[in-house]
Amino acid sequence: MKASKDWKTKLIHSDAKAPEGFASLATPVYRGSTVLFKTVNAANEEWDQYEAGYTYGVYGTPTALELAVRICELEGGYRTILAPGGQAAISLVNLSFLKAGDHVLIPESIYGPNRKFANNVLRRFGVEVSYYPPNVGTGIASHFRANTRLLWCESPGSITMEVQDVPAMAEVAHKAGVLVVLDNTWAAGVLFDAFAHGVDITLQALTKYIGGHSDLLLGSITVKNPDLYQKLGATNQLIGCAVSPDDCSLALRGMKTLAVRLAAIEKSAFALAQWLATRTEIEIVLHPALPSCPGHGCWKRDFTGSSGVFSIVFRRGYSKQQVTAFVDNLELFKIGYSWAGVTSLAMAYDFVSDKRPDYGSRIVRLNIGLESLEDLKIDLTQAFERLRD
């Protein structure tokens, strides 16, 4: 190269360098698709960057890999792979460990999009799908078939909050040669030790408590051994589920306050659940830390705490219009599906399936944020009082 490059070339190939030695508490945000190699012979397309080094941006920049190893450390697994959302993580697990002719078992209380993926995609590709009662315990053995490969658990269950006997189910599943996967989002990956209780694969929507501020979309899948990691990574390479390093940076920041946020949210949510249980309008409060919640004994035995999502069921006689009006009349509680941020949320549901509890249109899921407990009580009280108008 000539001694003095043209200015247009300098825009791309600069010799200028910033001084080294900057030490920060924040993880740098590394953005990049192209990874540079020193020689042609050094270039490769391997996805496992722990073994091959950095090869391509879709497999993660240092920002993403730091988040992955920190999630893995918290969950006590072997490796963690990130996905661009919780649903992407769910789909990646299914695609990695199921094929045409296999059978998957899913609890009736599963997250709605997981059910839709199973019904609309897995079945289309020849996977047999069936659903089991979430409180089945060791009775799960009667649901296994010769071709059962994957047992999904979600504890507590989505909306209806059933706490599953995961250790008992995992023991039975392993005797049958079935892998156990758990959606551990409600527990933020820390309030329930999935691997210590027999789970093979755990996932969570980092969108929720890890992010903590309703401003990112990420998911994680953590596995217990190298074989599962290889199967998961090989599928992920071909699907190309790349994560945003900017979202990973936000999640890393969110992790720093996870402990204090969970502690405050747990305290407020449990106090509100106890208070709501005394309201004459309410038939039952579905909070895992209350004896009224199905599977409360499993929660008490297996969990180290509770988070901020629970449901309330209005007494019979309240119409769908009244329940939706109750939610509409809330002021501090906003209406939205995703949860675990700092803002309290409410959403009404309508169960018509004879395989779910007979709550009909009387069930409302609450997400408790970081507002004042007394202000949240005042908001709920005024919404209750307006039901009588």
pLDDT at 243 over 70: yes
Same fold, 49-256 and 258-386: no
Q: Does domain 49-256 have CATH number 3.40.640.10?
A: yes
Q: Which CATH number fits domain 258-386: 3.90.550.10, 3.20.20.140, 2.40.37.10, 3.90.1150.10?
A: 3.90.1150.10
Q: What confidence score (pLDDT) does residue 324 get?
A: 97
Give the count of beta carbons closer than 10 Å to the beta carbon of residue 365: 21
285-308 average pLDDT score: 98
The fraction of the chain above a pLDDT of 90, given in percent, is 90
Q: Which of 149, 92, 107, 26 is nearest to 294 (CA)?
A: 107
pLDDT at 388 over 90: no
pLDDT at 295 over 70: yes
3-state per-residue secondary structure call for the chain:
CCCCCCHHHHCCCCCCCCCCCCCCCCCCCCCCCCCCCCCCCCCCCCCCHHHHCCCCHHHCCHHHHHHHHHHHHHHCCCEEEEECCHHHHHHHHHHHHCCCCCEEEEECCCCHHHHHHHHHHHHHHCCEEEEECCCCHHHHHHHCCCCEEEEEEECCCCCCCCCCCHHHHHHHHHHCCCEEEEECCCCCCCCECCHHHCCCEEEEECCCCCCCCCCCCCEEEEECCHHHHHHHHHHHHHHCCCCCHHHHHHHHHHHHCHHHHHHHHHHHHHHHHHHHCCCCCEEEEECCCCCCCCCHHHHHHHECCCCCEEEEEECCCCCHHHHHHHHHHCCCCEECCCCCCCCCEEEEECCCCCCCCCCCCCEEEEECCCCCHHHHHHHHHHHHHHCCC
Lowest mean pLDDT among 80-84, 238-242, 260-264: 238-242
pLDDT at 99 over 80: yes
97-104 average pLDDT score: 98
Domain spans, the chain: 49-256, 258-386
Q: What confidence score (pLDDT) does residue 358 get?
A: 87
Query: Confidence class of residue 4 from pLDDT cuts 50, 70 and 90?
Result: confident
Q: What confidence score (pLDDT) does residue 225 get?
A: 97
For residue range 25-54, list pLDDT tens digits in order: 999 999 999 999 999 999 999 999 999 999
For residue range 311-332, list pLDDT tens digits in order: 999 999 999 999 999 999 999 9
126-138 average pLDDT score: 97
CA distance 63 to 6: 34
Sign of CA dihedral 201, 207, 208, 212: positive
pLDDT at 355 over 80: no
Q: What confidence score (pLDDT) does residue 1 get?
A: 58
pLDDT at 352 over 80: no
Q: Name the pTM for this structure.
A: 0.94
Q: What confidence score (pLDDT) does residue 2 get?
A: 60
pLDDT at 7 over 90: no
Query: Confidence class of residue 158 from pLDDT cuts 50, 70 and 90?
Result: very high
For residue range 165-194, list pLDDT tens digits in order: 999 999 999 999 999 999 999 999 999 999
